[in-house]
Structure 1
């Protein structure tokens, strides 16, 4: 008698696969394009290059999703998982982008190195997770959200107070910063997302951020605030090529920062996979778990090679599996093919790059605020009521994480080679939380490992 196929391995009709796959793409699309928009803006790249970053990101989202969901040798958990750029890496990458001695090639060098680091430590992650209980991961994710909120707030005002002049190659005041119409559109986007979140149900409610951005884009178009300059020159079809911006450079401080981000995202991914195992009612072995983490790591290497950023599983898509009840991994395979195809059409990316920054600001306040709120939610599993030591860990780590945010010159007399470390509030908070947790609570027990990971999974949302 032939064994019954598990719903995770069930192959659905092509039409149904396409429709369900497109639903996964729409749920993650806003998050997928947000990171290249943030980093492209921080690097002061022209619109055509930001569009290229979006194309590269969509292409790699699809490629890494195929590796994770379909599986290749020891890479991929073979579950319904969608892969996208992790927001945990945004803070350190923005710090690198703002450091004149680093820039985009150092970002890619750090991304590639962190992916290789992830491949090396995958077999040891079962032991490393104990260093990242909820009090540590919750603190880190909260600081990530708070740090990113500065980006979202400045976007809502129209960008940064100063902007990079491509002609003079210098910083000049941004005349549109804080303009009432910018603030009005950002507020309209924010309010529309809240209304849709409350009143729209099911799938439409799940893509409220994307719908809010579309609303803001249309509103800006009506107001004459959208520029499609360069759209006519953009190709209809173009391949994403490796090392588009040149060979990466490797800075030790940048690499250390990105490797710490890699550890945090691997802890989160472990929790996502365990939660998905419960959701799909398919048990996963330690080897399968390792295969999933290897896909995260090789995806990050691929990201650095193909001009994009670190990859991890997107939790909102795992939530969609629960909402729809469709457990087939081949739906995510179809979604991966759709994303990869999207990345090959530069005109589509150029339209996304034309979204006014204040529209992104309205959505960014929601997205980045949710990152911070997710950290707070994870801290709810940290026994703050009965373990006063954990309160010290959170308090001091929050303080360390705020230093570069509120006092950018705080470490100006430190050695130059330390700049990448001390200029990242996320990195300072991570080091502080891990070390203080070891001091107050020790290493934790092996039995706690899965509980920690599950707590992160049930609370996390990229």
Structure 2
């Protein structure tokens, strides 16, 4: 019996090397969510490091579950898992408006369980998320995150010299370095341009007087993320609703990625496989809420890496998951990442989040805007979704529960795009149902 390439297990040496390549390709995006949330909530370096290591540990476990599979959980395809950017804005709102991390984790646990229960149903709802909707939502995600990167580039919100020329010069230098690597770096170097930019930018920042590395050597070298480290979860209805809306975006992202990887490795992806993939996402998300991390989805840049390398083995990506889990057991590594100067993060962030927005444009490029109302759908959804980004005080006069939901441009933009698409195009659009291209909001290509 001939073994399909997806089920082949390479020798130990190539298995580890190829798995490490997947880790390097997604690492910068993998740690971005805890960094954004930790800085927005003004957590200590120690707490941010804890979030990063918890994220890496669960990302690794989620990847192994998705690739290897257990019962009806997992696609059994080469899919790398990481925290979704789609949840960043609502989680920041939940965390900074009195709920704190316990309220975030309560909503994440419920959101994950809802995803597990809705997985079979979503296979029949995919027609409501054609490229018109998914492209618009991804564009909103990228544009709504760009102000975060610009603030980092200026030195960070709390910096006494916010906007100082040296901050902006360092951020610009990192951005240009990343772009040069992406333009002229061949193969592997080009794919890890963001990670290399972070490393080089940090090394340049140290002699320039940037501090923050004094705590790197403190604390344990090895540790395990324990359940409910930041307190028992709090279940607030508004927070749960906000994260539940994000789960719809996550389901659309993951569905597109599993369809894409199925085409690349020549494995059929039917409704059952889509449901198994989403169940694994949901279980990983629920476990994330228990182990101090966030919602999970497939990372599209790793799908692209599978296409580029033509290495189709799911066990290679599972090996990458094992490496991620091991990194999550080394808090010292998390403290190093948490100490990266804000302007360095800002330069890399502009590249990352701009690429997210660009991937939304790429998805929309496959949509027809002639003789239909699709342009109105995109325009109105962008307006509604980005309104609270442009005017952060827009909903200050509304109740807190409304602010948590409406202040998230991603959630509101998603609902608007789905509703307007139904209004103009009906449940089945001329533009194609499920989008089979690579379209994740969680990582630049």
TM-score tier, shorter chain, comes to over 0.9
Alignment partner, residue 389 of structure 2: 405
For the 8 Å contact 2:29–2:442, the answer to whether it is kept is no
Alignment of 1:95-134 (within 5 A): 95-99=93-97, 101-134=98-131
Match of 2:297, SS state, is strand
**Deviations 1:87-127, CA, capped at 9 Å, x for gaps:** 1111222222332x222111111111111111111111122
The alpha carbon displacement at 1:375 in A equals 1.3
- In the alignment, the residues of structure 1 paired with residue 359 and residue 204 of structure 2 have an alpha-carbon distance, to the nearest angstrom, of 30
Q: How does 1:142-153 map to 2 (within 5 A)?
A: 142-153=139-150
Aligned pair partner of 1:425 in 402, 409, 423: 409
Cα deviation, residue 461, structure 1 = 5.0
Which of 148, 161, 164 is equivalent to 1:176? 161
* 2:301 aligned with 1:319: no
Q: CA RMSD in A?
A: 1.7
Asked if the contact 2:146–2:349 (Cα under 8 Å) also holds between the matched residues in 1, the reply is: yes
Aligned counterparts of 1:273 and 1:455: Cα–Cα separation in 2 = 10
**Equivalent of 1:359 in 334, 337, 344:** 344
- Provide closer, same or farther for how the CA distance between residues 460 and 333 of structure 1 changes in structure 2, counting only shifts above 3 A: closer
The Cα offsets for residues 280-322 of structure 1, whole Å up to 9 and x where unpaired, read as 1222343222111111111111111110111111111111111
Report how many aligned residue pairs link the two structures: 444
Is 1:197 the counterpart of 2:179 in the alignment? no
Greater displacement, 212-221 / 248-257: 248-257
Question: In structure 1, what is the Cα distance between the partners aligned to 2:441 and 2:282?
Answer: 23
1:447 shift after superposition: 10
1:76 maps to which residue? 74
Question: 2-side partners of 1:304 and 1:258: how far apart?
Answer: 12
Equivalent residue for 1:59, pick from 57, 73, 85: 57
Q: Could you tell me how far 1:24 is from its partner in structure 2?
A: 0.7
Aligned partners of 2:385 and 2:412 also within 8 Å? yes
Match of residue 267 from structure 2: 282
TM-score by length of 1: 0.93
The aligned runs of 1:62-461 (5 Å cut-off) are 62-99=60-97, 101-160=98-157, 163=158, 174-387=159-372, 389-444=373-428, 448-449=432-433, 452-455=434-437, 457=439
Cα deviation digits, residues 60-107 of structure 1 (max 9, x gap): 1111111011111111111111110111111222222332x2221111
Distance 1:341 1:5 in 2: 29
The TM-score, its normalising length taken from structure 2, stands at 0.96
For 2:181 and 2:156, how far apart are their aligned partners in 1? 26
Query: How many Å separate the matches in 2 of 1:347 and 1:22?
Result: 19
Structure 1 residue 130: Cα displacement: 1.6
